[in-house]
Structure 1
Amino acid sequence: MTEPAFGVDAATTNAGLDRWASEIQAKADRYNAMQQQVTAITATASSQDGTVTITVDSAGAVTAIHFTEDLKRLPATAMADQVLTTMRAAQAKITDQVTEIVQTTVGDDPATAEAMISAYRSRFPEPDATVDRPTDDDDDFGGSIFH
């Protein structure tokens, strides 16, 4: 964005201010469009075996969940794993969509673009990096939940 030339003459200053205001308005319009597009994002993922399908919104909140009858055949801990892994996979897809939107709307502002994309990557990392598996759960539900 170019700054207006001040002090040359009134016509040049006015033209520069008009151009500057127009550039600021165009940038604000692009950021508004980006925000609207990001807010509209949804992402869906299915488990590898297809027993769980989850859709999340742009904030990562689950908006739809579908289980097949085959899910009932799994132990409870495996069901929980399927749900969490599938949810995280859907959430990770949000980052891909945000990246595309940011690059097409405000890609000419690399600092802002990188800050937004980094924030989403931190919030919704790739699923493999987030899977936490219990190490001492014997699945008998008899142990205390308090340590």
Structure 2
Amino acid sequence: MAMSGPLPNAGDAAAQVDRWVAQAKEKAQRYQAMQAAVGQVAVTETSPDGMVTVTVDSAGNVTGLQITDRVRDLSGAQVAKAVLGTLRRAQSRLPERLAEVIAGTIGDDEETLNTIVGNYRAKFPEPEPETPAPDDVRRLGEIEENTAVPNPIRRPARDDDSGEEDGFGGSFMVRE
């Protein structure tokens, strides 16, 4: 579309462009501040019994792990369950903590806040509540320690003069 004549007020247009540039620079600074603040986020969670403490960074990576000597009374599987449960609880607190940090830096940008926090919630959901499994129920894929391997089936020895113990390898044409 062609314009006829000069711009109505070139001074106003230049001032508007300057305002947009200033707003863009200010927004970029807020996003840089948000990125720096998010990079500093860490969450620490302790198991309900106090045996395990896990710290994760803003990406959900373990940056600290403390285990008390009381784990000596537990099996390896119980220690692993305590560590992983505490880790998952720490990671699941990241979206809440990041929402606080993001709101403090770019609070007026709800779409960005919701997108980032939503991505973290999808990656680090609330862990399932821990319910102890009954002792008489096995979970699919669970490996039990000290599981005995069944002995192979042995066929009874034959009571004939063929010399064959199990009846295999001799002639099937033997008359009895």
Q: TM-score range by the shorter chain?
A: 0.7 to 0.9
Identify the structure with bigger relative contact order (alpha carbons < 8 Å, sequence gap 6+): 1
Pairwise CA distance, 1:139: 2.9
Q: Give the whole-Å Cα distance in 2 for the aligned partners of 1:142 and 1:102.
A: 52
TM-score, normalising length: structure 1? 0.83
- Determine whether 1:135 maps to 2:144: no
- SS at the partner of 2:93? helix
Q: Give the whole-Å Cα distance in 2 for the aligned partners of 1:55 and 1:96.
A: 15
Equivalent in the alignment of 1:53? 53
Matches within 5 A, 1:101-140: 101-128=101-128, 135-136=139-140, 137-140=142-145
Q: Does the C-alpha gap of structure 1 residues 103 and 141 become closer, same or farther in structure 2, counting only changes over 3 Å?
A: farther
Q: Give the whole-Å Cα distance in 2 for the aligned partners of 1:15 and 1:9.
A: 10
Q: Show CA shifts across 1:108-138 (max 9, x none).
A: 122211111100111111122799x881425
Q: Give the whole-Å Cα distance in 2 for the aligned partners of 1:130 and 1:16.
A: 58
Q: Which has the larger radius of gyration?
A: 2
| Count of paired positions | 136
Root-mean-square deviation over aligned CA pairs: 2.2
Q: Name the one with the larger helix percent.
A: 1
- SS at the partner of 1:127? coil
Equivalent in the alignment of 2:19? 19
Pairwise CA distance, 1:78: 1.3
Residues 77 and 139 in structure 1, CA contact (< 8 A), matched pair in contact too: no
Q: Give the whole-Å Cα distance in 1 for the aligned partners of 2:37 and 2:31.
A: 10
Q: Does the C-alpha gap of structure 1 residues 92 and 130 become closer, same or farther in structure 2, counting only changes over 3 Å?
A: farther
Residues 53 and 65 in structure 1, CA contact (< 8 A), matched pair in contact too: yes
Equivalent in the alignment of 2:40? 40
TM-score, normalising length: structure 2? 0.70
Instruction: Output the amino acid matched with 2:54.
Output: I
User: Percent of aligned pairs with the same residue?
Assistant: 35
Instruction: Output the amino acid matched with 2:88.
Output: R
